[in-house]
Every structure is written in structure tokens, then in C-alpha cells.
Amino acid sequence: REFGPAFAAETPYEEFGVEDPRITMIDGRFWITYVAVSRHGAASALASTDDFRSFVRHGVVFCPENKDVVLFPQRMSESYVALHRPSGSASFCPPEIWLARSPDLAHWGGHQVLCGGEEPWEGARVGAGPPPFALPEGWLVIYHGVGTNSKTTEVGTYSMGAMLLDREDPTRVLGRSREPILIPTAGFERRGFVDDITFPTGVYDRGDIVEVYYGASDKFIGVVEFAKADVLAAIT
């Protein structure tokens, strides 16, 4: 174990920091999407590594304001596929999850809206969590939602939800959890740097169990175990 950051801000687009990394293994290499924050806004950038000791930066792949970029672990129809969350300034359109495709992980197009918030607990904004992973039923996506009725903090309450996408056509949403699968209840989730946050970014498939790693109150890291059967049962 080494102490200190393995990956720290270096470029002008990262002058205020790097945050919210998501890691996907594609063709034997780890690809990391992360938010690069600077005076120019919050952009999403890409890096890769084989050993988590040395990293290759591939630059900004989604310009500001765009967060919550996650990569699918395999190509579909010869294209890489990503979920992302652009944030416009218009008050009449809360941030939604979009889908994009790329031939090379650097140039992205074919943007399509995947989904927005439909229930009160996610009505203010939604964003992808960990990278999607494949089940026989489809691509399981764990995501976060912020409620329109969240009054506990300035930013609202961040809860976890789940959705299932078609294995062959990930633009097709097969179902979503109508209620959150996790809400902030523990003390370390309720009180911290930013209160009432459960923000999922990592996932580990353990057969019948899925472990979800998440930021809690923007101060701690938590992990929660779900039975896959329970998550699928929550999706309608």
C-alpha cells in the first residue's frame, strides 16, 4: 500500500481537482472516466492504466458541463458506448442520463437521451453510477437520483436507483426501480462535508451478490451488498 493520491490534478483543465472516478476494464486495460474541474467548468476526462502506478491521460472527452460518464465494458455494433450527464443552464430541463457512441474512446457522437427522473426521489436530477455490467436479463445500471422534494440540504438528498437496459440495444430501458434501493440513513451518510449523500461509483460482481461502493456525505466511502434477485425484483 502507498499513501497519498495515486492520481492527482496536473493539467489546466484539472486546476480545481479531479473527482468521481469510474473504472471499466476494456480489452485488458483499465479505463478511468473522471470529472476535471477548472475555471472553465466541470468537464469529463479519460485516463488509462495497467497497474494503477502509472497513468496515461487521454484528455477531455465531454466538455463542460458534463459529469457521470461511465463506459460499457464491451463494444456494441463496433462502437464503444458511454452514459453521460450533460447539465444545461435552463431551469426547465433537469439533468438527464444520455447515451453516446465512439469508434476510439476519444471522439463521441450519436447522442441520445436515455432517461430522466420520473419519480419524486429522482425528479431534480439523475446520473449514472458505476459502469454497467451484464446479466442474462440485460445491462444492470446503478444510478443516483436527487429528489424534487429534497429539502434537507442545499443540494438535496442523493439516493440510489437501478435500471435494466437491453443487452443488444442499450438505448432501450427495460425497467427501473420506482423506489430507491438505498437512501441515506446511517450517520456517516447523513452528516459530513455534504449531508445526505449516497453516491455510487464502483461495483463488484460476486455471483448472486453485487457490492456497490459509494461516496457517503462527500466525506466517507461506503459499501453495500445487494442480492441480485432483490435488485431485479425492484425493477419494473
Same domain for 93 and 39: yes
Q: Which of 188, 217, 183, 214 is nearest to 201 (CA)?
A: 214
- Number of structural domains the chain divides into: 2
Residues of the chain with pLDDT under 70: 1, 89-91, 149-154
Same domain for 83 and 9: yes
Q: Which helix (H) or strand (E) holds 12?
A: none
- pLDDT value at position 187? 97
- pLDDT value at position 93? 76
Q: Give the C-alpha separation, 49 to 218, whole Å.
A: 26
- For the sheet containing 220-227, what is the strand order? 198-206, 209-216, 220-227
Using one digit for the tens of pLDDT, what is the confidence trace for 126-171? 999 999 999 999 999 999 999 876 555 567 899 999 999 999 999 9
- pLDDT value at position 3? 78
Q: Which of 115, 131, 165 is the last residue of a domain?
A: 115
Concatenating the DSSP letter of every residue in 119-181 gives SGGGSSEEEE-SPPEEETTEEEEEEEEE-TT--SSSS--EEEEEEEE-SS-TTSEEEEBSS-S
- pLDDT value at position 146? 96
Give the range of the structural domain holding residue 172, as residue numbers without chain letter. 116-236
Same domain for 94 and 144: no
